[in-house]
Amino acid sequence: MKILIENEIYPIDLLEEVFDDPKFYKQNGLEGTITSVGYYHSFEKNSLVFMLPKVFMAENKETVFDCSKEELVDLIDNESVKHKTQYNWVRQLSIHFYNSLTEFRKRYNQTSIIHNSETFELNTNLGDKEYSFLDLLLSFVNFYKKNKQQILFKHIEFVSNQAKKPKWEKTIRKSMPIVTNGKTPIYVEITNKKKIINTEEELLTYFFSILNHLNKEHKLNLKIDKSFSFITGKLFDNLCQNGSVKLRKIKHRYFNDTLKRMYVLCEMYFAQFDKSSGKRKREDFLAISNYNLVFEDMVDKLFSDKLNTLEVDGITIDKLKNNDDGKIIDHIYDYKSLIDTSNIFYIGDSKYYKSDSTAGKVSKYKQFTYAKNVIQFNIDLLNKKGQQHLGNLRYRDKLTEGYNISPNFFIYGYIDDIDNYDNHVIKKKGKPVPSYHFQERLFDRDTLFVHQYKINFLYVLKAYTHFNEFEIQVFRDEVKNRFRKHFLKFFNNQEACGFEFYESNLKTEDYQTFVEENFKKLNGKCFCTIDNKLLLAKHNDDNELDTVLQYFQKIDKLK
């Protein structure tokens, strides 16, 4: 097994050694750059390759596995490390990574992440109902782990049935028994006067010969009971060539479900070498050239997937995700407002970079555009159908003409611990990114703050294929609450956000007269909440509110 990383440069000799053609890398002289993310297997070269996403690279040109990319290539084939427990991550990572690609393959025609006009290539030569070599390898491993005790019992039973008139003296002298938990010896090789060939043992021999071969070739580190017979070396190569014929001769001997499943696995394996089969392939692969779409869909399934076809207070979420100007919002969900009991849309954007990288100016400007599109959509709906159609969603206050605070966030994938698949470890990353037309006007539609977070990429990878609806909902509830608390903590820190908050002590019926008389001073700085509280956000550098502050009292903190 070879492990390569997207966008990294490798010697062209290495790439030609494992790939049958150069569609997964771009050659430049004696070097080549990996351009895809995915899985590849060559039957002719007997090579199994994983092209991992660039998130597995750190900024110091080391991988997140504490080794260089050159060391990672052959790390699994290195005899000195293949049995060490600290490299158990390899099989777990390969399974989750491959499953994520197959899940995206099922979903990408339906996912709202991808726009119809967007061009990308999910590269595969596998049909919808076809299996890859890796599917088959994992099936052999899983089948053996789940059924090894039952198979061993069948094997012992088969051997026992062969014994007619056993010679126990010679058996005890020449063979070693298996000792059970009750310390009872069981002899699997019995010397007898007349041996009866049990043809059912042929299937076990074929199965364990294949399993033994896979175990050695791909460093699976399986412990296979030595009492089974193996066909190895050139005899195994010959078996692969005529295995399909041999299997057909014993096809109708099996009625036990375990043996029948074993037969099917062997049949699928030998079919790869059947020259008479028109389905025989030189290679199989599943790869994508722009993996950012896979990452976005993985995160979206966690944050807002099932909401895409729902309506929230009359608004179709799918319409909000796919804007009229062609922009596609990665993640959007409705949750509690930061200043009252209404709801507001939280807007997120996935960032697919190396583990230590952050968004640039273009990404930040795009996010501000996404937020403004959502605000405009709601305002258009408000103007056409009124506040009753928006229900509990509150974007603009008619009295003050102020706008509710619209929470935005970036979410990056990162890897700190290669064994951690069970904790999202969401952390704040850098400082919030501000955007405004008038710095002192918080309740203005152009004033936005984008918070930045990083999430454990391995957790997202596992959740994409393993989490049920309940587990996803638990995640959503926790993260929505956590993000809101982070936003509140930011706005309650005057030094960080630059604002302090006040609540009016006027009577509700006096709000309109007060706002109209002081509209120029209060424009974009005041907002009347859904529960009729008149709030004022005063910027640290704003000296124009001294005459109106007497009608307000300072708020300790937003809740």
Residue 550 within any structural domain of the chain: no
Tokens of 61: 């040109």
Domain co-membership, 113 together with 138: no
pLDDT at 126 over 70: no
Tell me the C-alpha distance between 379 and 372, whole Å.
Answer: 10
C-alpha–C-alpha distance, residues 393 and 124, integer Å = 44
Q: Is 509 exposed, middle or buried (0-12, 13-18, 19+ CB in 10 A)?
A: exposed
Same domain as 466, residue 399: yes
Taking residue 170's Cβ as centre, other Cβ atoms within 10 Å add up to: 12
Confidence of residue 535 (pLDDT cuts 50, 70, 90): very high
Residue 512 covered by a domain: no
Which of 492, 519, 549 terminates a domain? The answer is 492
* Mean pLDDT of the region 45-52: 87
Please state, as a whole number, how many other Cβ atoms lie within 10 Å of the Cβ of residue 127: 8
| Contact of 55 with 45, CB cutoff 8 Å | no
Residue 303 has pLDDT above 80, yes or no: yes
Q: Which long-range contacts (CB under 8 A, 24 or more apart) does 425-431 make?
A: 425/455, 425/456, 425/459, 426/453, 426/454, 426/455, 426/456, 426/479, 426/482, 427/453, 427/454, 428/452, 428/453, 428/486, 429/358, 429/453, 429/454, 430/358
**Where does the pLDDT of residue 249 fall: very low under 50, low under 70, confident under 90, or very high at 90 and above?**
confident
Helix, strand, or coil here: 28?
strand
pLDDT of 278 above 80: no
Asked whether residue 536 is assigned to any structural domain, the reply reads: no
Q: Are residues 148 and 80 in the same domain?
A: no
* Range 318-324 contact pairs with CB under 8 angstroms and sequence separation of 24 or more: 318/112, 319/377, 320/345, 320/374, 320/377, 321/112, 322/112, 322/115, 323/370, 323/373, 323/377, 324/373
208 pLDDT more than 60: yes
Strand partners, 39: 50, 286
Q: Give 418's pLDDT tier (boundaries 50, 70, 90).
A: confident
C-alpha pair distances (Å), 539 with each of 2, 395, 446: 57, 21, 15
In sequence order, the β-bridge partners of residue 412 are 351, 454
Taking a C-beta distance cutoff of 8 angstroms, is the pair 414, 58 a contact? no
Ramachandran assignment for 552, one of left (phi > 0), alpha (psi -120 to 50 degrees), beta (any other) = beta
Give the integer Cα–Cα distance in Å for 175 and 197: 19
Same domain, 223 and 247: yes
Tell me the percentage of the chain whose pLDDT exceeds 90.
27
Dist CA 104 CA 411 (whole Å)? 19
What are the tokens at 256?
Answer: 């036990």
* Lowest-pLDDT choice from 151-160, 242-251, 343-352, 398-407: 151-160
Q: Which of 104-118, 336-350, 431-445 has the lowest mean pLDDT?
A: 104-118
Q: Which of 262, 288, 314 is the last residue of a domain?
A: 288
Chain-wide mean pLDDT for the chain?
A: 80
Q: Is residue 430 part of a domain?
A: yes
Instruction: Provide the residue type at 423 as one letter.
Output: N
The confidence score (pLDDT) of residue 109 equals 60
* Distance in angstroms (rounded) separating the CA atoms of residues 378 and 384: 10
* Structure confidence at residue 128 (pLDDT): 59
Per-residue pLDDT band at 255 (split at 50, 70, 90): low
Q: Classify each residue of 144-163 as buried b or exposed e, where b means 16 or more C-beta atoms within 10 Å of its C-beta.
A: beebeeebbebbbeebeebb
Q: What is the pLDDT of residues 483-528, one digit of tens each?
A: 999 999 999 999 999 999 999 999 999 999 999 999 999 999 999 9
Token pair for 330 = 């990665």
Contact 459, 299 (CB under 8 A): no
The letter for the amino acid at 6 is E
338 and 448 assigned to the same domain: yes
Q: Tokens representing 266?
A: 């062997």
Q: Are residues 324 and 349 in the same domain?
A: yes
Q: Are residues 482 and 342 in the same domain?
A: yes
Virtual CA dihedral for 87, 90, 92, 96, nearest 10 degrees?
Answer: 150
Among the candidates 442, 460, 492, a domain finishes at: 492
Neighbouring-strand partners of residue 453: 411, 428
Please indicate, yes or no, whether residues 101 and 183 belong to a single structural domain of this protein.
no
pLDDT level of residue 202 (50, 70, 90 thresholds): confident
175 and 108 in a common domain = no
Looking at the structure, tell me whether residues 115 and 51 fall in a common domain: yes
Could you tell me if 264 and 192 lie in one domain? yes
Length of the chain, in residues: 559
Quote the number of domains for the chain.
3
Strand, helix or coil at 292?
A: helix
> How far apart are alpha carbons 491 and 17 in whole angstroms?
57
* Spatial contact of 361 and 473, defined as CB atoms under 8 Å apart: no
Indicate if the pLDDT at residue 107 is higher than 70.
Answer: yes
Q: Does residue 509 lie within any of the structural domains?
A: no
The tokens of 351 are what?
A: 């960032």
In a domain, 253, yes or no: yes
Which H, E and C letters describe 221-274, residue by residue?
CCCCCCCCCCCCHHHHHHHHHHHHHHHHHCHHHCCCHHHHHHHHHHHHHHHCCC
Percent of the chain residues topping a pLDDT of 70? 78
423-439: string of b/e by CB count within 10 Å (b at 16+)? ebbbeebeebbebbeee
Q: Specify if 540 maps to a domain.
A: no
DSSP 393: B
pLDDT at 96: 85
Predicted confidence band of residue 114 (pLDDT cuts 50, 70, 90): very low
Confidence of residue 442 (pLDDT cuts 50, 70, 90): very high
pLDDT at position 459 is 94
* Domain of residue 33, residue span: 2-125+284-288
Both structure tokens of 272 = 């790869």
Q: Are residues 255 and 206 in the same domain?
A: yes
Q: Order of strands across the sheet with 25-28?
A: 9-11, 31-34, 25-28
Tell me the C-alpha to C-alpha distance, in Å, between residue 118 and each of 7, 112, 115, 293, 544. 21, 12, 5, 11, 49
Q: What is the mean pLDDT of residues 414-424?
A: 89
Specify the pTM.
Answer: 0.76
Q: What is the mean pLDDT of residues 257-276?
A: 81
Q: Is there a domain that residue 250 lies in?
A: yes
